[in-house]
Amino acid sequence: MPNKGYLVDTSKCIGCRGCVVACKQWNQLPAERTSFKGTYQTVPDLTANNYTIVTFHEYEEDGQIKWYFTKRQCMHCLDPVCLKVCPQKAISKTDTGAVVRDREKCVGCQYCAAACPFHVPRYDKVNDKETKCSLCPERTAEGELPACVKACITGALQYGDRDQLLAIANKRVSELKAEYPNANVYGDKQAGGTNIIYVLADKPEKYGFEEDPKVSIAITAWQDIIQPYFPWLIALTGAVSVFSFFSTRLLGVGKEKAHEGEGIHG
Amino acid sequence: MAEEKRVVKSSLGARITHWSHTICWFILLFSGLLMVTDWFSWLAPVFGGVNGANLLHRIFAIVFAAVPLIGLIYNPRSFINWMKEALTWGKDEIKFMMMFPFDLIGIKVNMPPQDRINAGQKFNSLFFPTIGLFIGLSGVVMWFAESFPLWMVRIAYPIHDLCWILGTMQLMFHMYLGSLHPGSGESFWAMFGDGKVRASWAKHHHTKWYERVYGEEEEE
């Protein structure tokens, strides 16, 4: 099965947040009380009850107010580090590349939240579980669109094969270049490539995205060096101790000391 | 034969902390292993599943940290003196460490006279508190992950793993050398018992300390 994901074309997004509502409705997530912070953005950040949000960034450029909005959620990495760090093997990839979690297996250790280069998974304190967008595998398996894509009224969200989405994204960026010289495709190679592809009208940081998010060296060292190799040191000192137990007795040191009134058990 | 004179080697505070850390370390180790790898899933019923292990890990982490901290507040001198002892290294300590591999495999060597704790125990006395400090600090960051900056949480995981692995590695040696290694039985029962060792044993294994503390008594 080819990798499937969706395209977020920010140049077509009008910030209606229909996708946010659809996501909450489909996943049966309760509303959260928020307060007005002087921005058009209603939900300040991803939370355990908000798998997706629309972010709004305002800048004053050339005496003009410029507004950048985009959708944020799990990027569904091609090589997801959350899957690698999960000690309970609760995270897996579906045959279309969606990164999904098994709620029953999750123990709420939050390793995935810290390891994720996009910092997406959020901790649900009430249920002691980690949460994130799953790309609606229960819908897509039945030939339905993910809830957010289904709700999008402007065509800013488009579900399909990753390869095709990339081709559409590149074409769209070349069209946008005339008006938006900094237009770019995001997600084609970030963190090793993601199944969610963005068309950004300006540099990623304008949208609050990192230009080149990478898995932290600490996480890589932990997973690739410390965990697989270091435990052998325990076996080594254990083996040396067992060896010493027998060799000291065979060579008679214990006997000699026992003679001095200093036997093994005192 | 008359009852031989016995001298105090391990203080009450040292014995309480040692008992508490012995128990806590194993509970923390196995509850942690249950959470971190499926090799130990057979232990799940003992701890009440992974969630039970998770809870126990936190409860015993508090005990693990609280016992030495209470001791430190109650009697800071004792800890400072222990650290001073452990940090005092001279020719005899270096010689001991160099000759130790021979002793370990059972070749008879004449060890230089040692203090209340020998060079190997001095190393151990510096090693475990360091491990304890770092495993505790990284554990706090992991427990309250959402309250700490992301970079701190990201380094806390490898530190916590490094600490339990190196700690358990040293523990394999410590368990063997402190119990079944020839000549160690005396201090084993002192640490887990009343803290006392036989005077003749102390004189032989910890000559410098014995002479300093109990030497004059003997002359009288």
What's the pLDDT score for residue A261? 43
CA-based nearest residue to B186, from B3, B9, B1, B5 = B9
Handedness of CA B42, B45, B50, B53 (dihedral sign): negative
Q: Enumerate long-range contacts of A251-260, CB under 8 Å, 24 or more apart.
A: A251/B105, A251/B106, A251/B107, A251/B108, A252/B106, A253/B103, A253/B106, A253/B107, A253/B108, A253/B182, A254/B182, A254/B183, A256/B108, A257/B182, A257/B183, A258/B182, A260/B204
A92's tokens: 């897996």
Measured between beta carbons, which residues in chain A are less than 8 angstroms from residue B204? 260, 262
**In whole angstroms, what separates CA A197 from the centre of its chain?**
14
pTM over 0.90: no
Residues 103-122 of chain A whose Cβ lies under 8 A from any Cβ of chain B: 107-111, 113-115, 119
Cα–Cα distance for residue pair B212/B220, rounded to 1 Å: 14
Measured between beta carbons, which residues in chain A are less than 8 angstroms from residue B37? 87
> Helix-strand-coil percent breakdown of chain A, rounded to 5?
35, 20, 45
How many other C-beta atoms lie within 10 A of the C-beta of residue B217? 10
CA-based nearest residue to A261, from B199, B167, B44, B118 = B199
Alpha-carbon distance values, A59 to A56, A67, A179, A206, B47 (Å) = 10, 7, 18, 8, 54
Per-residue pLDDT of chain A (266 residues; tens, 9 = 90+): 899 999 999 999 999 999 999 999 999 999 999 999 888 898 999 999 999 999 999 998 888 888 899 999 999 999 999 999 999 899 999 999 999 999 998 988 899 999 999 999 999 999 989 999 999 999 999 999 999 999 999 999 999 999 999 999 999 999 999 999 999 999 999 999 999 999 999 999 999 999 999 999 999 999 999 999 999 999 999 999 999 999 888 887 545 544 444 443 33
HSE (side-chain half, CA atoms, 13 Å) at A157:
27
Cα–Cα distance for residue pair B164/B170, rounded to 1 Å: 10
What's the pLDDT score for residue B182? 85
**SS3 labels along A42-104:** CCCCCECCECCEEEEEEEEECCEEEEEEEEECCCCECCCHHHHHCCCCCEEECCCCCEEECCC
What's the pLDDT score for residue B193? 87
Interchain proximity B158–A110, CB inside 8 Å: no
Interface probe with B: pick from A45, A81, A220, A222, most Cβ of B within 10 Å: A222
How many other C-beta atoms lie within 10 A of the C-beta of residue A231? 18
What's the pLDDT score for residue B2? 61
Q: Are A216 and B156 in contact (CB under 8 A)?
A: no
Residues 76-95 of chain A whose Cβ lies under 8 A from any Cβ of chain B: 85, 87-89
B14's tokens: 């040292």
Measured between beta carbons, which residues in chain A are less than 8 angstroms from residue B6? none
The residue type of A32 is E
Per-residue pLDDT of chain B (220 residues; tens, 9 = 90+): 567 788 888 888 889 999 999 999 999 999 999 988 888 889 989 998 888 999 999 999 999 999 999 999 999 999 999 999 999 999 989 999 999 898 888 888 888 888 888 888 999 999 999 999 999 999 999 999 989 999 999 999 999 999 999 999 999 999 999 889 888 888 888 888 888 888 888 888 888 888 888 876 655 4
Q: Are A68 and A10 in contact (CB under 8 A)?
A: yes
Measured between beta carbons, which residues in chain A are less than 8 angstroms from residue B185? 262-266
Between strands A129-131 and A157-161, the pairing is unpaired
A86's tokens: 């999960």
Cα–Cα distance for residue pair B98/B83, rounded to 1 Å: 22
The residue type of A103 is R
Please name every residue paired with A72 in a beta bridge, in sequence order, or none if there are none. Answer: A53
**What contacts A204, CB < 8 A, 6 or more positions away?**
A184, A186, A210, A211
CA-based nearest residue to A15, from A175, A156, A177 = A156
